[in-house]
Structure 1
Amino acid sequence: MKKSVNIFEFPFNLGLIKKEHEAEPGVRKLPDWFRKFHFHKRINPFHIIRLESPKYTMNPDAETGVKNTDFIIEYAKKQSELILSHFNKNIFNIILGGDCSILIGNAIALKKLGNFGLFYLDGHTDYIPPRLSPSGGAAGMDLAIVSGLGHEKLTNIDYLKPYFLEENIFCIGNAETDDEEYVEQIVKSRITYFDLYQARKHGFRKIAHDFLHLVEDKNLTGFFIHFDVDVLQDKIMPCVDSRMEDGIDYQDLHEILNPLIHHEKCFGIEITILDPDYDENGEYTQVFTDKLIQIINKEE
């Protein structure tokens, strides 16, 4: 990584609905958990910037159909301000969640900086309206929200709708392909979409390069990577909120991320959904952080 690095810590978990055995979703512990594996030290960031999360709730919002809407909006605005106050085109930004709804604040900041693309790497599409969400959690609708699908209260914060143009988005890795109505939403959009099985056939490295061609052809200001770790195979990453058996392996991840992360127009990457509560001895997180650092630092 030639650029200097900033690490942002956004331990937000109000986009998820807690399970019966939980006091709250454990994803908020991710930044501190990564420190135990010396992630920050090995990355050696220029700055570490943190925004604490409000107390966990599951407040319904009848207007939007999304739980904790007001808290999500408030946090997203603060995220955006922090990102913008530390913006430097020569800085690569690593953003540690939290749940997927942290994408909203990141997207607002990027919209204020210009016209950005989004590479959405996730085991789900997260592209549904609230009426199709059984939980009402924003983490399952974040791609929809940032591309303008959903209630204006969330999709048009600071009158910036859409935060990303759909034609500038690639969505890769969905393994939840049995629900036709769920998949139909993104298929009918203008987003470039490869489910997990299509991506294997097309080639992960080729998909990354196809996205970079889009960025260059459209002369976009830059692009951002969303990386939800539930896109990984369950056998190597079971520490997630919504487990799927199939997914990509670490070689696939390297083929996808290596050309993207080291491109001059890459603003940064957000890492979401890894829940330390499901990895008590850290065996999965240790391997994950090692693999991710190798990619970021271009280590062999």
Structure 2
Amino acid sequence: MTKSICIIEFPSNLGLKEPAAGREPGVKKLPAFLQRHHFHASLNPGSVLSLTPPAYSMRLDEISGVRNADQIVQYAKDQSQIVEKILSENKFPIVIGGDCSILIGNSVALKNTGAFALFFLDGHTDFMWPALSQTGGAAGMDLAIVTGYGHDKLTDILQQKPYFKEEHVWCVGNREYEDWYVKAITDSNINYTDLNKLRQQGIKKCIADFLQMVSIKNLDGFWIHIDLDVLNDNIMPAVDSRQPDGLTYKEFNEILYLLLSDAKATGLQITILDPDLDPSGVYTKEFVNNFCATVNSTRKS
């Protein structure tokens, strides 16, 4: 990576349901929590920007079937302006959420800028729409939304549907294997590699295939989505939807290094770590140490 880093803070929790009655999801505290644990200082960005999200609610939008849909759309429009500006300045945005719904605004910015691929690294597929969702939360539907599934209110912001073509998306790391859940994505044209397949074929082949697609399609670049529930539950339990297994830091660091070492890497986002679930910061510190060391190892003077 040769570009100057810009950290962008999008601390939205609008895509999640309440963890308990009357209590907001704590992911909105993530940017400040990472900063407290030396994330920002370790990366030494050229600039740091932040956008306050609309107020949280549990309101289910009747038109789209998605909670907080209007607020998410407005936030996405505001996000996209910030991300577009950073991309136009040839900087590398590292975006801190928030929940996975921040992918929507980032995707709008990318679509406005050119043609991009998406490397979607997540312990779930997030390839759901309201008829399949059990929560109505956009954080579990974000991959479907950015590839054009669901109501136009969310999928066609600024008349840019779809933000990513399905064949330009790699969904990697899912470990929720129920047939009904997986069927939605296997019926699509998204390149789907669950955790078992990733380990069978090997990380190097997975990344090489993705980068080859980006090159063959002559895309302008690619975006990396990182939901931290992709990590092994023993090293990152501070997430809203826990499951056994997951990537080790050795595996995670290898994926990140190979992606960031490619010249077409355009930016990335980090989501879902909930500081309320890691009050001592023990899991967050380990993440910061691994992530920042890997990013910095790819930076060239």
TM-score by length of 2: 0.97
Partner of 2:280: helix, strand, or coil? coil
Deviations 1:150-193 (A, max 9, x none): 1111111111000000000000011100x211110000100000
Distance in 2 of aligned mates of 1:203 and 1:40? 32
Q: Which moved more, 1:153-162 or 1:259-268?
A: 259-268
Contact 2:94 2:269 in 1 (8 A): yes
Partner of 2:27: helix, strand, or coil? helix
Contact 1:230 1:273 in 2 (8 A): yes
Shift in Å, 1:54: 1.4
Q: Which moved more, 1:125-134 or 1:99-108?
A: 125-134
Contact 1:207 1:256 in 2 (8 A): no
Distance in 1 of aligned mates of 2:80 and 2:48? 15
Report whether the alignment pairs 1:294 with 2:293: yes
Partner of 1:239: 238
Shift in Å, 1:20: 1.4
- Runs of at least 4 residues of structure 1 off by over 3 A? none
Partner of 1:130: helix, strand, or coil? coil
Shift in Å, 1:21: 5.9
Partner of 2:144: 144
Shift in Å, 1:49: 0.8
Contact 2:87 2:93 in 1 (8 A): no
Distance in 2 of aligned mates of 1:289 and 1:90? 25
Shift in Å, 1:204: 1.5
Partner of 2:46: 46
Identity of aligned residues (%): 51
Partner of 1:260: 259
Partner of 1:174: helix, strand, or coil? coil
Report whether the alignment pairs 1:96 with 2:115: no
Report whether the alignment pairs 1:33 with 2:33: yes
Shift in Å, 1:92: 1.4
Partner of 1:134: 134
Report whether the alignment pairs 1:125 with 2:125: yes
Partner of 1:212: 211
Distance in 2 of aligned mates of 1:271 and 1:264? 20
Shift in Å, 1:90: 3.4
CA RMSD of aligned residues (A): 1.1
Report the count of equivalent residues: 298
Deviations 1:184-223 (A, max 9, x none): 0000100000111111101112211110111001100110
Distance in 2 of aligned mates of 1:2 and 1:76? 28
Shift in Å, 1:89: 6.0
Partner of 1:131: helix, strand, or coil? coil
Alignment of 1:1-300 (within 5 A): 1-20=1-20, 23-88=23-88, 90-177=90-177, 179-298=178-297
Contact 2:83 2:106 in 1 (8 A): yes
Partner of 2:8: helix, strand, or coil? strand
Distance in 1 of aligned mates of 2:188 and 2:261? 29
Shift in Å, 1:86: 2.4
Deviations 1:99-151 (A, max 9, x none): 00000000000000111000000000000121111100000000000000111
Which amino acid counterpart does residue 68 of structure 1 have in structure 2?
A: N
Which amino acid counterpart does residue 9 of structure 1 have in structure 2?
A: E
Distance in 2 of aligned mates of 1:17 and 1:167? 30
Contact 1:7 1:94 in 2 (8 A): yes
Distance in 1 of aligned mates of 2:237 and 2:169? 27
Contact 1:4 1:45 in 2 (8 A): yes
Distance in 1 of aligned mates of 2:196 and 2:9? 32
Which amino acid counterpart does residue 162 of structure 2 have in structure 1?
A: P
Which amino acid counterpart does residue 41 of structure 2 have in structure 1?
A: K
Quickly say closer, same or farther: Cα 1:39–1:51, change in 2 above 3 A: same
Which amino acid counterpart does residue 250 of structure 1 have in structure 2?
A: Y
Distance in 2 of aligned mates of 1:127 and 1:119? 14
Shift in Å, 1:88: 3.7
Distance in 1 of aligned mates of 2:210 and 2:167? 11
Quickly say closer, same or farther: Cα 1:21–1:204, change in 2 above 3 A: farther
Partner of 1:132: helix, strand, or coil? coil
Distance in 1 of aligned mates of 2:241 and 2:297? 30
Deviations 1:11-70 (A, max 9, x none): 000100011166100000000001111111111111111000111101111111111000
Q: Which moved more, 1:139-148 or 1:250-259?
A: 250-259
Distance in 1 of aligned mates of 2:62 and 2:94? 34
Contact 2:86 2:93 in 1 (8 A): no
TM-score by length of 1: 0.97
